[in-house]
Amino acid sequence: MKRITAFIAAIILFSCSKNQGELIGVQGREMWYQPDPYGMLYLPMGSYNMGNSDQDVPYAQTSGQRTVSVQAFYIDQTEISNNEYRQFVYWVRDSLARRALAEEVDEEFVISENFYGEELDPPVIDWYKKIKWEEQEVREALEFLYYQPSERFYRRREIDTRKLNYEYYWIDYKTAALRQSREQGLTDRSVFIKRDEVNVYPDTLAWVHDFTYSFNEPLTQNYFWHPAYDDYPVVGVTWKQATAFSIWRTQLLSSYLLEIGSILVNDFRLPTESEWEYAARGGLDLSPYPWGGPYIRNARGCFLGNFKPLRGNYIDDGGFHTVRIDSYNPNDFGLYCMAGNAAEWTSNAFDESAYNFAHDLNLDYSYDANPNDPPALKRKVIRGGSWKDVGYYLQTGTRTYEYQDTAKCYIGFRNVMTFLGRAKEDYN
């Protein structure tokens, strides 16, 4: 009798509920709109003809015509600047300092418990506690961050940039998705969590070692740290450093969103070369240059990008080496310096025949090279040409490469973020 009564009560309870027994989804979820990341522009999804829009001058045959489609994404309006990258460098410096101070001066520089009183192992850094760099006790605890007296130049107390190493992680989804990974019953996700560590300071000596019999020492001494170059593109960063920056930028935003109780968004990352070319074309499908048309000058005879004009008249385009990241006119998407200034890293590995086997949906060919792999497997695609390149490399369809562990004074990067959803209009 009690069971019958309970059963009838359950029927009455569910019949009186709001869903009337229908499938209506989880109720009470807030409406959510994708916030535009600071400094980024939204690019709608689209299809275009990827590859050469003009003759293949060196007859390299590395970029045949291919119709591809890319989903909506955000992209930095400009290349990452020295000052923006310096925020990353300072973050790494300060994180090392805070951990050292927690061990030797004040344990409050790290947080060992969360809001629920649960122990955090390892503790996390407390970024709200101020470092008093001028105090003697603090200076002594942080002495390990500086060059030893024997290495100092004119007794200047400077940060030893060799100490600025950043540890980062990512999930290898491609390996996790393999049939054998699933059939072997690998339920421990740690198998697919990859770790790496990289020194984050740019190779400022690139300005010297990239050239022979050329005086570029002033740029080595000043380019990255001096305020005069704050808004110039960061160069001298390897592909791995650019990748580490993207992961750090993701964690920086994610930490803030979690702090305010908001929902996480997609990761910052390097663009695939199909995304990069789509962005560079600015909606002009068959144009060889981001600004449209087959010419590299405007109607008044002025050059439209920062590159190596004529037979080496570097100043004829208004530049010399790099210029400010917002120089020249943007393309029709509003993006600056998609041709010239600094060439840009993409996320893709370089393979001459990639267009022949990669998918036409979000075309992407990647390979995570190991330190012991042959050099050919460490090639990463760079796009856009630079201040020291001839005009051919400024074309939207031209692709070339550099090695992932190599830093050059003419290669920088910008980030992208995949849009959450199909298109912005779906939110309206």
How does residue 375 score in pLDDT terms, banded at 50, 70 and 90? Answer: very high
Does residue 101 belong to any structural domain of this protein?
no
CA distance 387 to 410: 7
Does residue 187 belong to any structural domain of this protein?
no
Task: Answer yes or no: are the C-beta atoms of 424 and 34 closer than 8 Å.
Answer: yes
Specify the higher pLDDT residue, 426 or 186: 426
Token reading at 80: 């990452």
CA distance 338 to 332: 11
**Angle 214-219-221 from CA coordinates, rounded to 5°:** 115
Residue with tokens 């210029």: 323
Does residue 354 belong to any structural domain of this protein?
yes
Does residue 163 belong to any structural domain of this protein?
no
Per-residue model confidence (pLDDT) at position 364: 93
Per-residue model confidence (pLDDT) at position 78: 98
Per-residue model confidence (pLDDT) at position 12: 45
Is 90 exceeded by the pLDDT of residue 108? no
Model pLDDT for residues 304-319, shown as the tens digit of each residue: 999 999 888 999 888 9
Domain that includes residue 404, residue range:
1-81+234-428
Q: What is the CATH number of the domain that holds 391?
A: 3.90.1580.10
Does residue 303 belong to any structural domain of this protein?
yes
Q: What is the pTM of this model?
A: 0.91
- The total of other beta-carbon atoms located within 10 Å of residue 191's CB is 13
Q: Of all residues in the chain, what percent carry a pLDDT higher than 70?
A: 92
Across the chain, what does the average pLDDT equal? 89
Residue with tokens 């300072």: 90
Per-residue model confidence (pLDDT) at position 14: 47
Does residue 375 belong to any structural domain of this protein?
yes
Per-residue model confidence (pLDDT) at position 249: 98
Per-residue model confidence (pLDDT) at position 18: 61
Does residue 186 belong to any structural domain of this protein?
no
Model pLDDT for residues 230-272, shown as the tens digit of each residue: 999 999 999 999 999 999 999 999 999 998 989 999 999 999 9
Number of structural domains in the chain: 1
Specify the higher pLDDT residue, 345 or 424: 345
Does residue 90 belong to any structural domain of this protein?
no
Token reading at 159: 């940060």
Q: Of all residues in the chain, what percent carry a pLDDT higher than 90?
A: 62
